[in-house]
Amino acid sequence: MNKSELAKAISDKAGITRAQAGDAIDAFAEAIVASAKKDDSVQLAGFGTFHAKHREAREVRNPRTGEKMMSKAKTSLAFRPASALKDI
């Protein structure tokens, strides 16, 4: 399912226009990203938790040349599903 299909499903279910549903999806995504940048989590009961996941710099190996190098430390967005969602 892509964004336009999700917006259609939300608009049909909520009785709003597709444009409004698309705006709601954009606002939802922006709120999650802003929360992750502040190192907060977003918990949705019965669905799951979005949180920032930190990975320290580490030594890696280039598979083509075998050369050892250091990867950069980074933070990415992670999702932990709720137990109700895991059962589906």
Backbone torsions φ then ψ of 13, nearest 5 degrees: -75, -40
Q: Is the pLDDT of residue 25 over 90?
A: yes
The H-or-E segment that residue 42 falls in is strand 42-44
Residues 10 and 30 placed together within one structural domain of the fold? yes
Residues 30 and 47 placed together within one structural domain of the fold? no
Residues 29 and 7 placed together within one structural domain of the fold? yes
Residues 13 and 47 placed together within one structural domain of the fold? no
Q: How many domains does the chain have?
A: 2
Residues 24 and 6 placed together within one structural domain of the fold? yes
| pLDDT tens column, 33-60 | 999 999 999 999 999 999 999 999 999 9
The predicted model scores a pTM of: 0.75
- Any idea what DSSP says for residue 67? -
Cα dihedral across residues 20, 23, 29, 35: positive or negative: negative
Q: What is the pLDDT of residue 14?
A: 95
Residues 28 and 69 placed together within one structural domain of the fold? no
- Structural contact between residues 76 and 53, judged by C-beta atoms closer than 8 angstroms: yes
Residues 78 and 67 placed together within one structural domain of the fold? yes
- Structural contact between residues 26 and 7, judged by C-beta atoms closer than 8 angstroms: no
